[in-house]
Structure 1
Amino acid sequence: MLSTNLKYLRKRLGITQAQMAEKISIKRSLIGAYEEGRAEPKLSTLVSISRLFGISLDSLITQDHSQLVPSLDQEEANKQEGKLRVLAITVDQDHNENIELVPQRASAGYLNGYADPEFMEDLPKFRLPMLAGTGTYRAFEIAGDSMLPLVSGTVIVGRFVEDWNYIKDGTPCIIVSQREGVVFKRLFNKVKTGAYMALHSDNPVYPPYEVPVNDILEIWEAKAYISSSFPMADLSLSKLSSIVLDLQHEVMKLKKAI
């Protein structure tokens, strides 16, 4: 099915095997082998092919070519509504997804290169076995003190969020937007008519603000962080009072159970 789809989509786009090979940076002979079913593309190549044709990986691999035209039309409509997000990834020699690191100095370039496989290839990469197989992850080095106690230079590891409607209010996320760039905030999803999302800082000095949904390019739910600075313990009076109240509550529960 994949081989038939590749040939059909290439002809629909009106390009030769050589032109297609040049666009996705592989040898022309490989395109012929894929279309004849003599070889299977690796994951990174499939991602490049899906981007070239503007079609999801799932449709490319599982749908018959006769069903692709309505699928393509629907995806084009989704693009216009800002619902379809093409994600460029990199994989290791065993086809396991990497975690790409976006340093502070590369944040501005990320706005233009977030969907470009070549840009992704140039970023530092690593893997965390504890996160393997649970989604697609990317790491971002944050700047500023708006999310204390996490300090500037902390690396936030986020999991890609495909459907933004399921983000719980208050979830810490990396938000990539045309207006704000790359920021780390707590996200509140249901604002006004759904045309905006509210971004809150943990540092009360910074007031919350809204970002138009149409300006947002990607959202990554924070799942881990890497830092050379350890957060200071919160020993404020309010925190100590909360701890005492919790202890009293547990003591009362124990007394009732005896």
Structure 2
Amino acid sequence: MLSGNLKNIRKRLGFTQAQLAEKLNIKRSLIGAYEEGRAEPKLSTLVSMARLFGISLDSLITQDHSQPLPNAIPQPEKSTDGKLRVLAITVDKEQNENIELVPQRASAGYLNGYADPEFIEDLPKFRLPMLAGTGTYRAFEISGDSMLPLVSGTVIVGRFVEDWSHIKDGTPCILVSKREGVVFKRLYNKVHSSALMMLHSDNPVYPPYELPVTDILEIWEAKAYISNSFPMADLSLSKLSSIVLDLQHEVMKLKKAI
């Protein structure tokens, strides 16, 4: 049972034997021996495996993991502070990743359950073919008017960000933090120092504010949104002036090319 579970879970998580051995700080040959049933891991190694896989020690040893079901599967990722943690996801019967939806009413519970496979499994799920195979996604129903024209109730679909320092300034993201909970803001991480993140709202009524990166639990880069409210076109004088200037610039380029 253990040898088969170890092999099946390792492959499901996308680890080679060498990668798993490195994470467990043991020799690669030991992983092969464990998977072939030629050796038994020490208790300390079993505990490390269970923690890495995001399952209980009892489940690793006694439950059959040879038939993956559409349940939550832990995915090892690095958190924004660079520490290895388990990112819980769900998959369908064909082992395609779902997009889990975090409704407004579940936002508070998400702070405690974001790494809990059972909590993630209970969330509503859907798939967007256009995003398939390009990362791990989660959807969040936002509240408030700080990111107008996107109104309260809009669902933001975000892709998980492993390293927040690579985010381009001004990128709209869902940010999950100990202090702020789940918020949708534009992030700036190069304004003051590597220890702080600057959060900006699109609604100018709300001033920007700083957040220590040590408070950050997850960052999901916004890639799509779902809403039953269509944003109004921006036909302000400044916007029209910008359009006219762009047209004039293009006309000048055409004249020079003739």
TM-score, normalised relative to structure 1? 0.76
Structure 1 Cα separation of the partners of residues 224 and 62 of structure 2: 41
The answer for the alignment partner of 2:143 in structure 1 is: 143
What code does the residue aligned with 1:12 have?
T
After the TM superposition, which residues 1-258 of structure 1 pair with which residues of structure 2 at under 5 Å, given as runs?
2-3=6-7, 4=31, 8=41, 12-13=45-46, 28=62, 30=64, 40=66, 42=68, 47-48=73-74, 56=76, 83-258=83-258
Structure 1 Cα separation of the partners of residues 104 and 58 of structure 2: 28
Structure 1: tracts of 5 or more residues without a match: 32-39, 51-55, 58-77
Structure 1 Cα separation of the partners of residues 55 and 212 of structure 2: 38
SS, match of residue 88 in structure 1: strand
Give the C-alpha shift of residue 29 in structure 1.
5.2
SS, match of residue 198 in structure 2: strand
Structure 2 Cα separation of the partners of residues 169 and 188 of structure 1: 4
- Tell me the number of residue pairs that the alignment of Structure 1 and Structure 2 aligns: 220
CA contact (8 A) 1:147 1:185 kept: yes
- Bigger fraction of residues in helix: 1
Structure 2 Cα separation of the partners of residues 132 and 231 of structure 1: 26
Structure 2 Cα separation of the partners of residues 96 and 82 of structure 1: 27
Give the C-alpha shift of residue 24 in structure 1.
6.9
CA contact (8 A) 1:21 1:27 kept: no
The answer for the alignment partner of 1:37 in structure 2 is: none
SS, match of residue 183 in structure 2: strand
- Once the two structures are superposed, what CA deviation does each residue of 1:217-244 show, in whole Å capped at 9, x if it has no partner? 0000000000000000111110010000
Give the C-alpha shift of residue 12 in structure 1.
2.8
The Cα RMSD (Å) is 3.0
Structure 2 Cα separation of the partners of residues 29 and 152 of structure 1: 43
TM-score, normalised relative to structure 2? 0.76
CA contact (8 A) 1:44 1:89 kept: no
CA contact (8 A) 2:161 2:219 kept: yes
Give the C-alpha shift of residue 139 in structure 1.
0.2
What code does the residue aligned with 2:64 have?
L
- Bigger fraction of residues in strand: 2
CA contact (8 A) 1:175 1:184 kept: yes
CA contact (8 A) 1:21 1:28 kept: no
Structure 1 Cα separation of the partners of residues 150 and 246 of structure 2: 26
- Once the two structures are superposed, what CA deviation does each residue of 1:8-65 show, in whole Å capped at 9, x if it has no partner? 27563469x9xx986575892526xxxxxxxx463878944x7xxxxx48xxxxxxxx
Percentage of identical aligned residues: 74
Shift >6 Å, 4+ stretches: 43-46
SS, match of residue 184 in structure 1: strand
Is the alpha carbon distance of 1:257 and 1:147 closer, same or farther for their aligned partners in structure 2, counting shifts above 3 Å?
same
SS, match of residue 93 in structure 1: coil
Is the alpha carbon distance of 1:171 and 1:8 closer, same or farther for their aligned partners in structure 2, counting shifts above 3 Å?
same
Structure 2: tracts of 5 or more residues without a match: 8-30
What code does the residue aligned with 1:89 have?
I
Structure 1 Cα separation of the partners of residues 236 and 119 of structure 2: 45
CA contact (8 A) 2:73 2:91 kept: no
Give the C-alpha shift of residue 86 in structure 1.
2.0
- Once the two structures are superposed, what CA deviation does each residue of 1:160-219 show, in whole Å capped at 9, x if it has no partner? 000111100000000000100000000001243311100000000000001110100000
What code does the residue aligned with 1:110 have?
Y
What code does the residue aligned with 2:68 have?
K
- Once the two structures are superposed, what CA deviation does each residue of 1:134-166 show, in whole Å capped at 9, x if it has no partner? 000000000000001000000000000001111
Structure 2 Cα separation of the partners of residues 245 and 97 of structure 1: 45
